[in-house]
Structure 1
Amino acid sequence: MHDLQCESLSKRFGAYTAVDSVSFAVPRGSFFSILGPSGCGKTTLMRMIAGFETPTGGDIRIKGRSVLSTPPNKRPVKMVFQHLALFPMMNVGENIAYGLRCRGENRADIARKVARVLDRVGLPGAAEKQVSQLSGGQKQRIAIARCMVLEPDVLLLDEPLGALDLKLRERMKIELKQLQHQFETTFLYITHDQSEALLMSDNVAVMNAGRFEQIGAPQDLYNNPKTGFVAGFVGDSNRWPGRALSVSDGKVRVAIDGGGEAIALAGDERIAAGGPVELFVRPEVISIGAGSGNGLEGTVESLLFNGASSRILVRMANGHLVEVGQAVMDGSVKIAPGETVAIGWSRSHGRAFSVAG
């Protein structure tokens, strides 16, 4: 069963197409993210689902029923905005109860529901607190509680972590995933932050220029990108322009611009011998030393320590800068800037994608 389905959904503003015939389905009780750069159409898509924008074409169904003619306040969806939009003149309990009062529910039921949802978001007894007394993470949970007390079929979240500082944002990623499991409600989340989408989601749709490039589990998008855009946008990648020398059995031999060759998996079916390609290799699969099938040589430019995300930057003879991730950064590997090193990676860890002429 799907809580949300969009079929050939489009939105045009004059000659500009913001959303171009997008189709997808969100399984019941799942965490589904739409990931893409600013201006790709993801906010317009969410506003159509919420009812704030009228589609130019296509259909939106919630639990199998079209909601195109249903006004926003009658749709079984609620939305958490980036800036949360809590009422500063109301205390926590009044903020959460607002939608229930608009429905005309009695005081006893409202008090019971507010207490229950506060307990579920980990803030029992906070009903009398003022919004100004809350931390950023607590405000986030109250914004979610205000929506969830109305028991929507789908909760829409429009980059709700964007205004938080880095440390709090990292913690709230985990809390949001836990809240989604706790409420067993379908979450539709939009973001330009790949780490948010990969960490929290059951499935992710990567959006570019109004279209979905690929939909899949985070592991699939990361390990098996279907387009060069997905390979470059999801996760970190070294990327080099080049030319396909030959294509055989799903592998392509690439002549890297400026010098060097590598064997990679063919990322798409449009690659032809002699055609322009881009080669993508993730930093964590590259190591200092000979690789299994691919190897280049360069000069260590700098060492960047960042715990598990530490990198060695190696400048190749052709001028390309390579991020190398498979290196021990605790001092046991003695590599210094200016040193000449060999780097390598397995052929199966590279992806080559055709480049439109």
Structure 2
Amino acid sequence: MQSTTDNDLECLDVRKHFGTVRAVDDVSFEIPKGSFFSILGPSGCGKTTLMRMIAGFETPSSGDIRIKGKSVIGTPPNRRNVKMVFQHLALFPMMNVYENIAYGLRCAGASKDVIRTKVHDVLERISLPDVANREISQLSGGQKQRIAIARCMVLDPDVLLLDEPLGALDLKLREAMKIELKLLQHQFDTTFVYITHDQSEALVMSDNVAIMNEGKFVQIGTPQELYHNPAAAFVAGFVGDTNRWAGKVTRVEGDTVEVATEAGLTMRGSVRGGTSPSVGDAVNAFVRPEFITATRAGGGAQSGADGGNLIEGKIDSILFNGANSRVLVRDGAGELIEADVVLTGGPEDLKPKDDVTLNWSAAQTMSFKT
């Protein structure tokens, strides 16, 4: 990867070893100016270690980290123009809002006039112009989030790092803050690097997302690319809800394979991940619940034009979520298959114990060679 000042942040072949453990293993990526970039992965995948190296709290075992095209290896955290919002925010409870935001400016030796102007300006930009004199304990959870961001942004960082800052919020506030963070990122036009294990946060807010597992980046792409065109079985299973079957290839027709699953089902799927499976190869097959149509048995369901999949089953239970709900269907082999349905509250709605036909196309089944 060639360095360019068009990027706010670059990591080049970065590794971090703790003894024999490879916490971060040969990670390279670049983030253009003004982007919202998320690193998404399960706990223990190395994303926090990577962020700490970017912030300067850890030193890479090898590789380079560049801010605005300049290497920061060996540069201490307080000398990097990178700021960090921690999961628990770390606001100072003994200081009011104004003093919290002004703290970094005071440490940098800014004059009182400059501090006053910058603090009030950043409070306006986060839409909290009237809270300067409030105590931290008087703020709501969402207001605390914005103050923590303002305390960083008042210092005009090149990159803002966010370490799962929504983890401590309740569900409703967390949903609201996803939108709020995206709007704030546009407002400040600053590069945000966000780490999370919550896929909904990453998919909703990000321009690009890196999927991380076992210290490596598995795939980088837009949320749409990761969801619809995963490059590996791990991405298909980790991003979004999905049904998964393990099986073996029994037939190959171009980019379409027929798979006999371990549960005894036969289904057709599209080949993904750049592999060319042969008859007898082990594969994992995935299909998302929203791609499966569920109709009452005998309701006239037809296979897709590409020779799709038809499976008979019985509704085991219904997970109600308003109009967009989900049925859990137990097939003839006793396996549960999830399918999304629209419930209107009328007598035509599917109900538990109904016999149903599940229908989806081969193109919507993502098959990966193991």
TM-score normalised over the length of structure 1: 0.97
Q: Distance in 2 between matches of 1:325 and 1:58?
A: 45
Q: Distance in 2 between matches of 1:335 and 1:189?
A: 40
- Kindly tell me: are residues 135 and 178 of structure 1, through their superposed partners in 2, closer, same or farther at Cα, counting changes over 3 Å? same
Name the structure 1 match of 2:319.
304
**CA RMSD after TM alignment:** 1.1
Equivalent AA in structure 1 for residue 354 of structure 2: E
Q: Distance in 2 between matches of 1:283 and 1:29?
A: 35
SS in 2 for 1:161: coil
> Contact 2:323 / 2:342 at 8 angstroms: preserved in 1?
no
> Contact 1:246 / 1:254 at 8 angstroms: preserved in 2?
yes
SS in 1 for 2:123: helix
Which segments of 5 or more consecutive residues in structure 1 lack a partner in the other structure?
A: none
> Contact 1:285 / 1:326 at 8 angstroms: preserved in 2?
no
SS in 1 for 2:182: helix
SS in 2 for 1:126: coil
Equivalent AA in structure 2 for residue 349 of structure 1: Q
Matched, 1:344 2:359: yes
Shifted more, 270-279 versus 13-22: the winner is 270-279
> Contact 1:291 / 1:343 at 8 angstroms: preserved in 2?
no
SS in 1 for 2:8: strand
Name the structure 2 match of 1:71.
76
Name the structure 2 match of 1:51.
56
> Contact 1:30 / 1:202 at 8 angstroms: preserved in 2?
yes
Shift of 1:309: 4.0
Shift of 1:327: 3.6
- Kindly tell me: are residues 61 and 251 of structure 1, through their superposed partners in 2, closer, same or farther at Cα, counting changes over 3 Å? same
Name the structure 1 match of 2:147.
142
Number of corresponding residues: 355
Which segments of 5 or more consecutive residues in structure 2 lack a partner in the other structure?
A: 1-5, 295-300
Equivalent AA in structure 2 for residue 125 of structure 1: D
Shift of 1:336: 2.5
Percent of aligned pairs sharing the same letter: 62
CA offset digits 1:203-234 (Å, max 9, x no partner):
00000000011000000000001111100100
Equivalent AA in structure 2 for residue 298 of structure 1: G
TM-score normalised over the length of structure 2: 0.94
Q: How does 1:1-357 map to 2 (within 5 A)?
A: 1-268=6-273, 269=275, 271-288=277-294, 289-292=301-304, 293-331=308-346, 333-355=348-370
Q: Distance in 2 between matches of 1:166 and 1:193?
A: 12
SS in 1 for 2:48: helix
> Contact 1:153 / 1:185 at 8 angstroms: preserved in 2?
yes
Q: Distance in 1 between matches of 2:238 and 2:121?
A: 40
Shifted more, 284-293 versus 199-208: the winner is 284-293
> Contact 1:287 / 1:327 at 8 angstroms: preserved in 2?
no
> Contact 1:314 / 1:323 at 8 angstroms: preserved in 2?
yes
Q: Distance in 2 between matches of 1:26 and 1:2?
A: 5
SS in 1 for 2:64: strand
Equivalent AA in structure 2 for residue 156 of structure 1: L
